[in-house]
Amino acid sequence: MLLGLVGLFVVARVVVTVRGVRTNVRGKPNTFAREYIDPFIYAGIAAFLLITFVARTYYIPSGSMEPTLQIGDVLLVNKFEYRFRKPAEGDIAVFTPPMLSPDDFIKRVIGRPGDTLQIRNGTVILNGKPLREPYVAQPPFYNLDIRDYNIFVQERGGEFQPLDPSIANIPPRKEWTAPDRIPPNCYFMMGDNRNDSEDSHVWGFAQLSGTYASGPREGQAAHFTGHAFLIFWPLSHARIL
């Protein structure tokens, strides 16, 4: 759509120039083109390059990241950043999910490759230390362990159950460096609205690259689109993340 608009302005620019040449009146048409048409062409080309190679917009469709992100917020996502560094703990990242979906997901990076992770009584324990998470809507109602080459979840009143690799991305044992550490290339993602978020406690690990090891997208490409860094709409919510 953006290229189409740029193309229309280019055609208009050519028409104005040609008409000026045919009628031997070059000054006014060229001045009009320079002042009113050329800026739109340049801005359109710059926006296309920006969206294609550097940043993209992302619309928040659900409440899984509340209170940090509200339904209807529009974000800018840096597509360039993860080419030079890996996702960091606390990043709000956009990625291809391990479950079947036509859209990318957006969640917070909690655990990275090599980390140990537990959830006990509403507290996330990362590498043996409780995380301070002022951004969550409320503590999770479930407990969780990464151990024995899987993710084990204990819902209220139940017992710990491992995620099923047929519906979650759980790499095979040979890809783990230890039975209780997040495997290489894998990330544990959580929504800030912990009790209204389908995230890694449901569908397993997100992956930075390669193909998903198991689950509905087994064998399909895994990818992190980028790092969300700015809410720019609505203006009342605008801020750097």
Catalytic annotation, residues = 64, 107
CA 222 to chain centre: 12
Cα 121 to Cα 221: distance, rounded to the nearest angstrom: 35
Beta strand 74-78 with 224-233: parallel, antiparallel or unpaired?
A: antiparallel
Give the tokens for residue 42: 């340049």
Cα 92 to Cα 187: distance, rounded to the nearest angstrom: 12
Cα 31 to Cα 185: distance, rounded to the nearest angstrom: 55
